[in-house]
Each structure stands twice: as structure tokens, then as C-alpha cells.
Amino acid sequence: MLPIRQYGDPVLKQATRELDEIDGRVAKLVDDMLDTMYAAPGVGLAANQVGVQRRLFVYDIGDGPQVIINPRVIETSGEWTFEEGCLSVPGLSWQIVRPNRIHLVGLDLDGNELSIEAEEYQGRVLQHEVDHLDGALLIDRLDEDQRRDARRILRARAAAAAS
């Protein structure tokens, strides 16, 4: 299992790099990320959440483990509000507005092209993980009032942890 990087860690604010090659090391990383995600427990985990600056994430919304390498958003549409949390910001969640539907392309572990059209919960998980890979956290998706509250809570937490 891998340590999950927490809010404030600069690795979470950096965009990840695409993978040129899917080799045994990537397969091992995916295995470790899945173990880490299930143990947390969570429904999605991006590589930079475990300190690896590469463009891939794993998820499981109840249909078994999935991995998407070099994901790219082709299209989004609609709007949906949903209570969202993150393993890098544990214990907190917010009602966040995002597009409802997403069309995502990428590669699987064998290098086959994936094209996924998803909405509602699956669409939400995919968007959340792509955000991670772009260096964004759910905090960045909050409205102004939510963000003010979030910053206050997170500052208080950081102060408590430092004292």
C-alpha cells in the first residue's frame, strides 16, 4: 500500500505527464494504487495522489477495478450537483456542481483505446480523477462561500497538526 498525499502537498497541484510506454512497472503501480484505494476505502485514486506524476487513475464504482491511462476529456454537457469528497482531503465533502455527462478517451493497461461516455455518479468520479491529473482538487470547484469555509477548516487543521 502507498501513502496517500494530503491537501497541502505540492504534488497535488502539479499537472501529470502522459505515459509513453505501458510496461510492467505501470502494471505494478496500478496494482498498488488499487490496493491503496480499496484499503482507504475510496472509489477513485489518481497517480499523483500517491506521488507519481504520471497521467493515470484507477476507480471502482461497484463494477470492478478500472484503470484509465492518459485520459482526455472530449466533451462534457449538462449540469449535476453531487456531494463530493476526496481521499486527499479526508473527512470533508461539499455539494459540487459539475457537468453531468462526460466523454472520455484513454488507454487501458494493454494499450487498447478506451472511449467512455458516462453520466451522474460515474461521470462525477471520472471528472474528479481527471481534475487530479490536471493538478486541481475539489476545493478548486467550490463556489466562493464554500471555498471560504473550506480554507478556514483546512487552515485550522494545519495549525492543529503543527502544534
Q: Which residues bind Ni ion (CB under 5 A)?
A: 86
For Ni ion, the closer CB: 29 or 86: 86
**Least distance between Ni ion and beta carbon 152 (Å):** 20
Which entry of 79, 113, 119, 129 is annotated as an active-site residue? Answer: 129
Minimum CB–partner distance for residue 46 and Ni ion (Å): 7
Comparing CB distances to Ni ion, the nearer of 37 and 86 is 86
14 phi and psi, to 5 degrees?
-100, 135
Measured from the CB atom, is 97 or 111 closer to Ni ion? 97
Residue nearest to Ni ion (CB): 86
User: For the range 41-46, what are the long-range contacts, defined as Cβ-Cβ under 8 Å and sequence gap of 24 or more?
Assistant: 42/87, 43/125, 44/125, 44/128, 44/129, 45/4, 45/87, 45/129, 46/16, 46/129, 46/132, 46/133
- In DSSP terms, which residues pair with 75 in a beta bridge? 103
- Grid look-up 467550490 returns 142
Residue 21 bears catalytic tag: no
Check residue 10 and report its DSSP letter.
G
Nearer to Ni ion, 26 or 43 (CB): 43
88, 116 in Cβ contact below 8 A?
Answer: no
Rounded to a whole number of angstroms, the minimum distance from the CB of residue 24 to Ni ion is 27
Q: How far is the CB of 97 from Ni ion (least distance, A)?
A: 17
**Would you mind telling me the total number of residues written for the chain in this entry?**
163
Q: Show which residues are catalytic.
A: 129
